[in-house]
């Protein structure tokens, strides 16, 4: 999955993974067939800018549907997304733009994801783990700028001990809200 889209979906609270999270013993990231195998075995939706891997995923989906009629239902895609999408609905999406706002709008239109941002439901954009609220005295002051510590009273920390990244509602929060508004505007335009 594209890095920026991956981070955005995590910020919105979606459990996501990328090929880089699944290296083999030699540290090599999986190839297309291995990526598809991971998606199918864990029922994860595949989102990519690579038309070839999406074509392969569609092919595999059709094959699986022959043996398992409820194959697509296992991907936790809302039923109305499938119904409103015409003949065949695939658990994958080809992104055609380099603009994150357009990418997120496409994902929204296709899978009806929630576009509401709340730090309480967000996942760590770096490692996908859930965030935990942390009281101010327990914040490691070496890990955040001192001005941030001074001006903020609410902090969250990634629950993954190997990551431990800190979060607070700062200017990045405004940027996220702004981009979400752009996405919603795009959706409204498409609806007309």
Return the biggest CA–CA distance within the chain.
60
Q: Based on CB atoms, which residue is closest to Zn ion, 14 or 108? A: 14
> Using the rule CB under 5 A, is 17 a contact of Zn ion?
no
End-to-end CA distance of the chain: 30
Q: Based on CB atoms, which residue is closest to Zn ion, 7 or 44? A: 7
Question: Which range, of 39-47, 100-108, 148-156, 163-171, touches Zn ion by CB under 5 A?
Answer: 163-171
**Residues counted in the chain:** 192
Q: What is the dihedral of CA 76, 179, 47, 68, to 10 degrees?
A: 20
Q: Based on CB atoms, which residue is closest to Zn ion, 58 or 159? A: 159
Number of chain positions touching Zn ion (CB under 5 A): 8
Would you state the structure tokens that stand for residue 34, as one six-digit string? 């291995």
> Using the rule CB under 5 A, is 124 a contact of Zn ion?
yes
**Least gap, CB of 149 to Zn ion (angstroms):** 19
Site for Zn ion in 86-115 (CB under 5 A): none
Nearest Cα to Cα of residue 11 among 179, 170, 124, 167: 124
> Using the rule CB under 5 A, is 127 a contact of Zn ion?
yes
Q: Where are the beta strands (DSSP E) in the chain?
A: 46-48, 92-94, 131-134, 155-158, 166-167
Q: Based on CB atoms, which residue is closest to Zn ion, 117 or 166? A: 166
> Using the rule CB under 5 A, is 158 a contact of Zn ion?
yes
Residues that bind Zn ion (CB under 5 A): 124, 126-127, 129, 158, 160, 163, 165
């Amino acid at each position: 999955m594209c890095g920026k889209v991956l981070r955005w979906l995590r910020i919105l609270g979606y459990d996501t993974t990328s090929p880089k999270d699944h290296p083999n013993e030699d540290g090599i990231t999986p190839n297309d067939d291995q990526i598809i195998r991971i998606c199918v075995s864990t029922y994860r939706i595949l989102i990519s800018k690579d038309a070839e891997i999406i074509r392969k995923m569609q092919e595999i989906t059709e094959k699986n549907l022959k043996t398992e009629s409820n194959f697509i239902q296992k991907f936790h895609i809302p039923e109305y997304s499938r119904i409103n999408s015409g003949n065949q609905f695939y658990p994958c999406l080809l992104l055609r733009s380099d603009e994150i706002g357009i990418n997120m709008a496409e994902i929204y239109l296709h899978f009806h994801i929630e576009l509401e941002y709340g730090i309480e439901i967000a996942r760590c954009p770096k490692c996908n783990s859930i965030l935990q609220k942390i009281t101010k005295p327990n914040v490691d002051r070496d890990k955040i700028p001192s001005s941030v510590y001074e001006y903020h009273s609410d902090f969250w920390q990634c629950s993954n001990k190997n990551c431990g990244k800190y979060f607070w509602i700062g200017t990045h929060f405004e940027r996220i809200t702004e981009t979400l508004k752009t996405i919603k505007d795009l959706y409204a335009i498409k609806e007309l």
